[in-house]
Structure 1
């Protein structure tokens, strides 16, 4: 039998020593028969060289972000340093189920298509409340990603063929605030062909106060405008565009900018009268409910705006 491919796992980290150790441990504990190297990238923080390891078949290399400061630059530093033909991402506050890589690579081998990216579903952990987010399919198309961000396709589920990732230009480092860069990368990848998906919750994603990005409204709004500018095909799906307008409306209401929020809520409802984000955004803009209460309620069910 052929030797299983080396898999490089890029973990970008910043000031989360306890959480990142759990993430690394979950990668090291994979039941995958091949070798795994963890490329641990310290971003805007001092590297902890004690985390390096030369254990046979499960090495950990510690490097620093040599590119644009932030998550995107850190991931790209890791991609460039990776030695395997497969590159996976794992956020430093998430962790994998032991069978993740085995299940994903098996799905890739079964596919008759050229494989660029393999994803899986997730289990969201919000302050101890667990919710499974599944896609209900084994392939994800570009059209599906125009309609929905499909949040179960979380970056911690990504397993890329490295050559495809390089061909795509890696992670865009100029998306405002390193937000929505995952959706951007999914859309660019799906242009090459459908994304292979394992519809099992093989990654546990931690939501809550540990996130650097969960409630940074200025960059959330600007990154959505960036997406509309750089992916004009988003304008072709009325329901998908209404969703984006609804998200902008919620972000504007949370900043707060009542006028802009109501304007985008109206645009969302004109595209899709059933777009719930527009209604919720109106309630936030009119101060009938706080954005924190809306998000906390949604997060309990593994969902976001």
Structure 2
């Protein structure tokens, strides 16, 4: 069973070469096609070995600029019946494709097969593995399950192109496009997880999204409207409201942040995002300090 792996990239040649090398080095008996999609940057062919049943293609993003358009460009160009993804700053670990394709074969009802991850930040490795092998749409409404990371996704190409659909390119700023995609996929069938850390996710001091609070506010508001099912999931809706509260606290919108934090805590009293928003509003901590602490323990806001 051949697998096409899409690696979106922009101006990170050294990280890209590391990611592509790890994809093509998988000890997998089937064919692997690595499709590098350059977004708003000059294309080049990464200097990595290929070998038998290993091919490397380079494309330019022809769709909406950004991560979503780049992924979709790759999925539509894929030659094999199974597609997978890897961000250009992450690394597949040995055994990933073998474990995932075996699980996919054993679960024909699955929409996506994922694996656990190991988060690397500031020289420290923090494993994150799903507690459950099978996750449903309701599970993802309740909790984003951050260990189910986009760099671990593997799915049948036909399901992506003609089933639950391509990555949404209209979500504001492209923020949480992976969560939207995951929810749509889980509506059609369960997400099955290899309960091993088989992708290294590299976190950096800076992030494209860290300071873009206005865009995050718009994107999460869009996501709640997109999935009316959140109204029936108190914990899940409270989590998103807590994230919105934090974004608005970072923007200095005190009244909106307080209202969202209150709504979040009424739904889920231990909601950490809402409490973090209140700490920012009280000026006990800054948003960057909260994010830095979360990263040190392998968690986002």
* 1:155 aligned residue: 150
Contact between 1:119 and 1:197, CA under 8 Å: does it hold in 2? yes
Cα deviation 1:3-44 (Å, max 9, x = unaligned)? xx1100000000111101100010011011111010000001
Contact between 1:257 and 1:285, CA under 8 Å: does it hold in 2? no
Q: Which moved more, 1:269-278 or 1:93-102?
A: 269-278
Contact between 1:93 and 1:206, CA under 8 Å: does it hold in 2? yes
* 1:122 aligned residue: 117
**Structure 1 residues 27 and 133 mapped into 2: Cα distance closer, same or farther (>3 Å)?**
same
Contact between 1:53 and 1:61, CA under 8 Å: does it hold in 2? no
1:266 to 248, 262, 265: 262
Q: Which moved more, 1:214-223 or 1:14-23?
A: 214-223
- How many Å apart are 1:129 and its aligned residue? 1.5
* 1:190-269 alignment, distance < 5 Å: 190-209=186-205, 211-269=207-265
Do residues 66 (structure 1) and 65 (structure 2) align?
no
1:104 to 100, 107, 113: 100
* 1:145 aligned residue: 140
CA RMSD of aligned residues (A): 1.4
3-state secondary structure, aligned to 1:240: helix
Do residues 178 (structure 1) and 174 (structure 2) align?
yes
- How many Å apart are 1:210 and its aligned residue? 5.4
3-state secondary structure, aligned to 2:188: coil
Q: Could you state the TM-score of these two structures normalised by the residue count of structure 1?
A: 0.95
2:25 to 23, 29, 54: 29
Contact between 2:18 and 2:91, CA under 8 Å: does it hold in 1? yes
- How many Å apart are 1:52 and its aligned residue? 8.2
Q: Could you state the TM-score of these two structures normalised by the residue count of structure 2?
A: 0.96
3-state secondary structure, aligned to 2:182: helix
* 1:89 aligned residue: 85
2:126 to 124, 127, 131: 131
Unaligned regions of 5+ residues in structure 1, if any? none
3-state secondary structure, aligned to 2:11: coil
**Structure 1 residues 153 and 273 mapped into 2: Cα distance closer, same or farther (>3 Å)?**
same
Unaligned regions of 5+ residues in structure 2, if any? none
- How many Å apart are 1:155 and its aligned residue? 0.3
Cα deviation 1:273-294 (Å, max 9, x = unaligned)? 2222211111101211011111
Contact between 1:52 and 1:59, CA under 8 Å: does it hold in 2? no
1:57 to 53, 68, 73: 53
Contact between 1:10 and 1:75, CA under 8 Å: does it hold in 2? yes
Contact between 1:51 and 1:62, CA under 8 Å: does it hold in 2? no
